[in-house]
Chains A and B, each alone.
Chain A
Amino acid sequence: EVLLVESGGDLVQPGGSLRLSCAASGFTFSNHWMTWVRQAPGKGLEWVANIRQDGNDRNYVASVRGRFTISRDNAKDSLYLQMNNLRAQDTAVYYCARGRRDYGFILDNWGQGILVTVSS
């Protein structure tokens, strides 16, 4: 069974930093693109960033570029999102999602999500 478990969410002050983790199991992590998607309270889905299997290709939405860094450790079957200079608008549930094996940008499995709250 594919399992994605996010952790690291917290209440943080504006300007602060946080590192989210996503532990993957039940599949060969190193074979898949991985993506972070977020959802502000009561709002829709926002695609945040993705990373290629080898970690050498990464893409970001403009609103987080330069502040967030997506990374992965294939030896640990883990995905990360380093979030710096956090803003109130970054408050959201953050989901990690697996890219489908045949085409990595189709998100076929999602974690349950982790809440990040940015507030003073």
Chain B
Amino acid sequence: DIVMTQSPDSLAVSLGERATINCKSSQSVLHTSNNKHYLAWYQQKPGQPPKLLISWASTRESGVPDRFSGSESGTDFTLTISSLQAEDVAIYYCQQYYSPPHTFGGGTKVEIQ
């Protein structure tokens, strides 16, 4: 199984500042046939189900604010919130959908400092 390792476990950021969440896959999730990384990011607010933010490592879902962005470098992935808003307080999860089981990272809790 592909292991997804997120860091940090939690971070506190001031409103308007940048938040950076890291995710590392234990093996490549890049499909060479289409040059796409099979990696998604989800946001889960307290008491709610997860919400899809980003797929293919860097493609934002419709309606997701552009302060959210995803990037990749090999087996390392990053979710960046460029200017943290109060409504962004949540736990963020990465997930690989390259091969089943489609494993999630352990989550990163983002709070306001």
Contact = CB atoms under 8 A, between A and B. Distances in A.
Interface of B is mostly: loop
Contacts of B87: none
Interface of B: 1, 38, 40, 42, 44, 48-52, 55, 61, 91, 93, 95, 97, 100-107
Given A46-B104, A50-B102, A106-B55, 19 more contacts: A37-B50, A44-B91, A44-B105, A45-B107, A47-B101, A59-B101, A60-B100, A95-B50, A100-B55, A103-B55, A103-B97, A105-B97, A106-B40, A106-B52, A107-B40, A107-B42, A108-B52, A110-B50, A112-B49
Which 4 A/B pairs are nearest by Cβ-Cβ distance?
A105-B97, A59-B100, A110-B49, A61-B101
A93 B55 CA distance: 24
Interface string A93-119: 001000010010111101111000000
Interface residues of A, number: 22
A69 to B, nearest CB: 16
A44 B97 contact: no
A75 interface: no
Contacts of A46: 104
Contacts of A103: 55, 97
B106 to A, nearest CB: 5
A115 to B, nearest CB: 12
Contacts of A107: 40, 42, 50, 52, 95
A100 B55 CA distance: 10
